[in-house]
Structure 1
Amino acid sequence: MKVAKFGGSSVANGNQIEKIGAIIKSDPERKFVIVSAPGKRHQDDTKMTDLLIQLGNIAFQDKPYMDNLNVIMNRFSEIVEELRISPSILDDIKNNIQEIINNNESDQMKMDALKSIGEDSSAKLVSEYLKTIGLNARYLNPKDAGIIVSNEPGNAQILPESFSELYKLRQYEEIAVIPGFFGFTKEGKLMTFSRGGSDITGSIVAAGIKAKLYENFTDVDSVYTVNPSIVSNPKEITTLTYKEMRELSYAGFSVFHDEALIPAFQQKIPVCIKNTNNPDAPGTMIISEKNKSRKCVVGIASSKGFSSLYVSKYLMNREVGFGRKLLQILEKESISFEHAPSGIDEMSVIIRNSQLSAAKEEVIVNRIKEELHPDRITFHRDLAMIMIVGEGIVSTLGIAQKATTALTDAHVNIEMINQGSSEVSIMFGIQSEGLNRAIPSLYNAFFGS
């Protein structure tokens, strides 16, 4: 059995859903279909989830919301017309939306339920269409599927008992079409996952039914060695390991959120990234292990939006608990850190800018001065992180030298290096303005002819 997950671009309109039908019909092993909410039909379009959030923000303030609701319903109506399926499904969608708006739950709970309408409606539309082309398909609500989650709105975690419930789905004769992005608590309350929620659902279902393969259909033929918006026509990656994919996702590759595939990884289920618009392309396979090759670097990921908190104190290394106290100050301010390279008398903590308001920065600096008495404390803004990824990278001679030479050739100064903390990556911190020079130079060094 295979699990096939289709992203927002794959359900954006009727034409795309027809492609899903052809893909499912072409392989009888594709017994489980997971779908996202309708994505953008064109560059200037709005994703369905964003439309639902806009609706909630207005409706929950008791403001007139019918114009927003009509925009959403017109979008679904277009898909129904394009697929030539029964319009009765539209009444079901509209009633669900209005029931959520009018119920007595908290605004947070109602927003979670409202956001789930996109995926839920996609699943109903896709299942109805599959029936019209002669497939034995059915819509399956996550509650009936056995997706049991923790009581954490917007950040639900799958509970272990879900997997035995999901395994029972192997007995189904029909093709099960399951909405991504949400599950239900033991008490029956709807909860959504975090970013990449539909990918999380697909991974959970694949793990639960012990799938032969988890196929993740998107709008690209494969994962590329670097960001195509920085380097034109980069080479494709044919095979990745789980560790490599997680490092690349964390460092900026947008194919997956870095935690989305963990359930599939834990069960060692192979994952294939494929293109809905070109399903015959081989895609990128993600597996647990692969044969080591002399050319171990598989990809170069990058992302902006970081700051470095630099703290210096003479004889810091002899002061027991200094690092713990520093990180506790960040913890008290609800700030997580990404990396923490250190020296004898100094320590840096890399933080995402999204967590660091000006007010929090001032509080952190004052607390460090009062509690740790450093000789020097500074914040370095506008940092970008570059991750060079590949199994065996730590034990392969010359990787760091090749990378630093490439950055020097691009006239990019290295603010920070983190090597050795990961077996499959080397990380460089640079000023953001140098990123578009650094990446092409690194690409030529590792992948150029």
Structure 2
Amino acid sequence: MKVVKFGGSSLADGPEYEHAINIITADPERRVAVTSAPGKRHDGDIKVTDLLIKYAKAVINDEDTNTLVSQIFNRYQAIADYFHLPADQLASIKGRLLALPKQDYPNDHYLMAAFKAHGERLNAELMALVLNHLGHNARLVTPEEAGIRVTGTPNNASVSPETYALLDRLTYADNELLVFPGFYGITMAGHIATFSRGGSDITGAILARGLHADMYENFTDVDAIYSANPNVIDHPQPISKMTYREMRELSYAGFSVFHDEALIPAIQGNVPINVKNTNHPEKPGTLIVPDQSFQPTDIITGIVSGKHFGAIYLHKYLLNKQSGFTLRILQILARHHVSYEHMPSGIDDITIILDKNQINDSLIDTICNEIQKEINPDRLEWINNYAIIMVVGEGMKNRTGVINDILSPLAEKHIAVPMINQGASRIAIMIGTYNEDADAAVAAIYHRFFAN
């Protein structure tokens, strides 16, 4: 049995919907489909999720919502019209949209989560209606019915282990197609909570594990996962096969094709993942497989840069002789609910790398002021334009001289490397540089390993 998930661009309008339905029905092993909310149809268009966020904010601010409701409903109506779906079958979708402001929510965060989740919820309902209209035996299965339980905050939820026991009890007919909305689950108190943005990938992986699928197919708008960003490298080499942990390392620094958190349920269930293109389903795509028995064909699998980092640099003589020094810094970060990404250090120096999506200028000043007061370093500096480059490959762990091969082309291009780190897994080397050098660094490393 296969679980198939479609991204927002793959379900944006009628023709894209038709591609998705042809894919679902072309293989009898594809028994479970996971929908995202309709995405952009063209440049300048707006995703349904973003419209729903506007809808939620208008409700919170007690503003008129009629125009927004019409905009959102018209996106589903246009898809239904493409398939000549009877108008009365959309009454439930319109009714759910109108009923959203009338529900009881513990606070505005839960309200926002419920509104956002309905992009997927309504699209799954529409997909089931269209499939049945075309003569296929399809059934909408909601997270409430399936038992997808979550914990955490309303807009950044995590799956509860109880989910997998509940999914084991889900029954369905042999000839039945199950359509699930992605992106959200149900809290213990019965409220909707969403995974982080792009979380339909997570739903697909949860279902692949919970329903013991043989394969999780993730359909998107690219032919494969590439060894480097096509916006940086012209026609980069596609990756035919890679391991879970390679994908995890690359996703961390910026590979956006596949949600990195979605790997975890798949890893736990030992389910292979195939990333494919909705518009070219005949192409093999990229296969993501368990680490065991994997035989790499290249030294390097992929190179990616992330430019959303900053760093606090501290210098203090005899730092290595002071017990509890690092603990005191981490306690300052913890007080402000800020996690750190990496902390390379020397005998007198520490660099604390932070994700700038977690912080703002005011918080940076507050944290640095507290570090100066409590730690009194000899030097304290905030580096705003920090970039991290991940060079990843299972083939690296049994090769000597790889670091030299990575750093040599950077030296030739006069690219500064203020930090380098290799993890214990030996399949990833992390390089710190500056934003303005990041693309040039990726290109230099790529051409060293892939140009020939």
Compute the TM-score of the two structures, normalised by the length of structure 1: 0.97
Preserved CA contact (<8 Å) 1:392 1:423: no
- For residues 390-429 of structure 1, what are the alpha-carbon distances to aligned partners after superposition, in whole Å with 9 as ceiling and x for unaligned? 1252442121111111212233111211123553210111
Look up the equivalent residue of 1:165 and give its one-letter code.
L
Look up the equivalent residue of 2:29 and give its one-letter code.
E
Write the distance in 2 (CA, Å) between the matches of 1:178 and 1:131: 15
Preserved CA contact (<8 Å) 1:168 1:209: no
Look up the equivalent residue of 2:131 and give its one-letter code.
L
How far off is 1:301 after superposition?
Answer: 1.0
Runs (4+) off by over 6 Å: none
Structure 2 counterpart of 1:330? 333
- For residues 253-294 of structure 1, what are the alpha-carbon distances to aligned partners after superposition, in whole Å with 9 as ceiling and x for unaligned? 001222122101111110000111000101100001253346
Look up the equivalent residue of 1:96 and give its one-letter code.
R
How far off is 1:180 after superposition?
Answer: 0.3
Any stretches of 5+ residues in structure 1 without a counterpart? Answer: none
Structure 1 counterpart of 2:258? 256
Secondary structure, aligned partner of 1:203: helix
Structure 1 counterpart of 2:178? 176
Trace 1:15-414 onto structure 2 (pairs within 5 A): 15-105=15-105, 106-150=107-151, 152-169=153-170, 171-173=172-174, 174-289=176-291, 290-293=293-296, 295-414=298-417
Q: How many residues are paired up?
A: 449
More off after superposition, 45-54 vs 253-262: 253-262
Look up the equivalent residue of 1:384 and give its one-letter code.
A
Secondary structure, aligned partner of 1:364: helix
Q: Please report the RMSD computed on the Cα atoms of aligned residues, expressed in angstroms.
A: 1.5
Structure 1 counterpart of 2:429? 426
Any stretches of 5+ residues in structure 2 without a counterpart? Answer: none
Look up the equivalent residue of 2:448 and give its one-letter code.
A
How far off is 1:151 after superposition?
Answer: 5.4
Q: Identity across aligned pairs (percent)?
A: 43
- For residues 330-352 of structure 1, what are the alpha-carbon distances to aligned partners after superposition, in whole Å with 9 as ceiling and x for unaligned? 11112111110001111100012
Secondary structure, aligned partner of 1:165: helix
Structure 2 counterpart of 1:437? 440
Distance 1:231 1:5, change over 3 A: same
Look up the equivalent residue of 1:269 and give its one-letter code.
V
Preserved CA contact (<8 Å) 1:394 1:420: no
Compute the TM-score of the two structures, normalised by the length of structure 2: 0.96
Preserved CA contact (<8 Å) 2:184 2:195: yes
- For residues 143-181 of structure 1, what are the alpha-carbon distances to aligned partners after superposition, in whole Å with 9 as ceiling and x for unaligned? 111211125201121111111221233643311000001
How far off is 1:60 after superposition?
Answer: 1.8
Distance 1:72 1:215, change over 3 A: same
Look up the equivalent residue of 1:330 and give its one-letter code.
L
Write the distance in 1 (CA, Å) between the matches of 2:297 and 2:70: 58
- For residues 70-96 of structure 1, what are the alpha-carbon distances to aligned partners after superposition, in whole Å with 9 as ceiling and x for unaligned? 111121111110121122243222221
Write the distance in 1 (CA, Å) between the matches of 2:399 and 2:274: 27
Preserved CA contact (<8 Å) 2:140 2:179: yes
Q: 1:416 aligns with which of 415, 419, 430?
A: 419
Preserved CA contact (<8 Å) 1:73 1:90: no
Write the distance in 2 (CA, Å) between the matches of 1:107 and 1:88: 32
Write the distance in 2 (CA, Å) between the matches of 1:318 and 1:424: 32
Secondary structure, aligned partner of 1:428: strand
